[in-house]
Amino acid sequence: MIQKSVQILKQLQHPNGLFSASPNEKTGYHLSWIRDNIYESLGFEAIGDYSAVQKTLRALLDVLLKHEYKIEHAIKEKPKHTHQYIHARYHPATMDEIWEEWGNKQNDAIGLLLFKIGDLEKKGIKIIRNENDIRIIQKLVNYLQSIEYWHDKDNGIWEEMEELHASSIGACVAGLRKIAGIVDVNPELITKGEIALKRILPRESETKRTDLALLSLIYPFNIVSDEDGDAILKAVEKKLVRDKGVIRYPGDSYHSNGSEAEWCMGLCWLAIIYKQFDAKKYSHYLKKAAKAMNEDGELPELYFAGTNEHNENSPLGWAQSLFIVASVK
């Protein structure tokens, strides 16, 4: 199943290193999201294929270098409009920005990128090639300063309404911590985020107490206290876990059939977290994730609540990658 998942992921990776989120052009998931690309690369990191990981992270840096003028503008003047923020989605071949009126303010994606570059560099896996890369990474730090990420309402991981999201603030804090020392990071920039995060936790946002996105603060970021981590896990398991996946939050209307859709990646996410300290729960969630695969060995984006029918975004690279991370011993 690991080999099949790796094969599926490889089919989603383009020659330049970028991943499509899923093969489906009709839904637009054939495009490349910054966030999805990083999560999709984690599967290759788990099996020790560091060249594939390097290719992806460097491609993301190339995307941002192509749009450096936009980042510079946002640093000089705090963005007033959504389209002035760093875009979250690009064409995988041309690296052009895909623009439409849509939840584009996704600060967590920038924090995640800084986190992964810093994490890999400190593990001895070279991502940074030259001064151009250093320059754009420094500008990403300056960008988070300019937008004042610690109280900047964004669309978050699920690209929905603008709120202060714990998962977005936490991603930025984790990213700034990891990249510090590689580029210049004012410690105050981290402290402001830490204070803001403590104020929100264990909630995800004003409207969402429990949310699948909070798991990111445990993995990959490892940025919450044991107490907050336990509270997040208990709430997710009590309120969000279903048979074929994990709902994103109570009342989620995306692909709802009267009840919330079940996201397969959530089962893998829980397995990864429990792998560290609870063998029984780890095995439980890994088996549930394996059962959620369709007849082609694919993990789709989601299943319609209480059914064996999944939506058209299959395979979802993010889910397939997390399954590899969960499965590799």
Better-predicted residue by pLDDT, 103 or 52: 52
pLDDT of residue 115: 98
| Digit-coded pLDDT (tens) for 72-111 | 999 999 999 888 999 999 999 999 998 777 788 999 999 9
What is 45-87 written as a DSSP string? HHTT-HHHHHHHHHHHHHHHHHTHHHHHHHHHS---SGGGSPP
Q: Residue 281: pLDDT band by 50, 70, 90 thresholds?
A: very high
The predicted model gives 302-317 an average pLDDT of 98
pLDDT of residue 226: 95
Taking the C-alpha atoms of residue 157 and residue 202, their distance in angstroms, rounded to an integer, is: 17
* Assigned token pair, 229: 């981590």
Q: How many CA atoms lie within 13 A of 89 on its CB side?
A: 17
pLDDT of residue 70: 95
Percent of the chain residues past pLDDT 90, beyond the cut:
96
Q: Residue 329: pLDDT band by 50, 70, 90 thresholds?
A: confident
The predicted model gives 244-261 an average pLDDT of 98
Q: Is the pLDDT of residue 34 over 90?
A: yes
pLDDT of residue 296: 96
Taking the C-alpha atoms of residue 58 and residue 241, their distance in angstroms, rounded to an integer, is: 35
Q: Residue 297: pLDDT band by 50, 70, 90 thresholds?
A: very high
- List the single range of 74-88, 123-137, 239-253 with lowest mean pLDDT: 74-88
The predicted model gives 280-286 an average pLDDT of 98
The predicted model gives 17-35 an average pLDDT of 96
* Cα–Cα nearest to 64, from 120, 8, 114: 114
Q: Is the pLDDT of residue 149 over 90?
A: yes
| Digit-coded pLDDT (tens) for 224-242 | 999 999 999 999 999 999 9
Q: Verify cis geometry, omega within 30 degrees of 0, for the bond prior to 250.
A: no
Within the chain, strands assigned E span: 32-33, 89-90, 262-263, 302-303
